[in-house]
Amino acid sequence: MSFNDPVAELLTKVRNASRAKHRYVDLALTKMNMSIVDILKEQGFIENFLVNEQKRKVRVFLKYRQRNSLFSNLKRISSPGMRKYVGYNKIPRVKNGLGIAIVSTSKGVLDGESARHQKVGGELLCVVE
């Protein structure tokens, strides 16, 4: 099964699994998905992830606090039909630093704060609140 927008698929699967209070969700193993999942783990939005090379899947374990998900909204900003590029000084601050923006830059996929610090802009993939 092929998808046109793997980032939107990742965000939708994680959003649906967290709303249904699932313990984990399985995603396709791609470089972009791994970069986003790694940022989410680094920022504390997910608990952990396991990679299965043979099945080309990554299992993401979701994190909850008092039976509520740690993120209230996962929103895709740039889509294949309408890309949104931002300079490093225009990267949005999500909920005054409580959320993150994920940006695809020339130095790889970074969270908004790291991209601002390294002074690189790029495609604004999504925001996590």
CATH code for the domain of 122 = 3.30.1490.10
113 has pLDDT over 60:
yes
pLDDT tens digit string along 4-36? 899 999 999 999 999 999 999 999 999 999 999
Q: What confidence category does residue 2 fall into, taking pLDDT thresholds of 50, 70 and 90?
A: low
101, part of any domain: yes
Host domain of residue 121:
74-128
CATH number, domain at 62?
Answer: 3.30.1370.30
Mean pLDDT of 65-69: 86
Residue 47 DSSP symbol: E
Contact 102, 109 (CB under 8 A): yes
Residue type, 59: R
Residues 39 and 93 in one domain: no
Contact 39, 111 (CB under 8 A): yes
Output the pLDDT for position 4.
Answer: 84
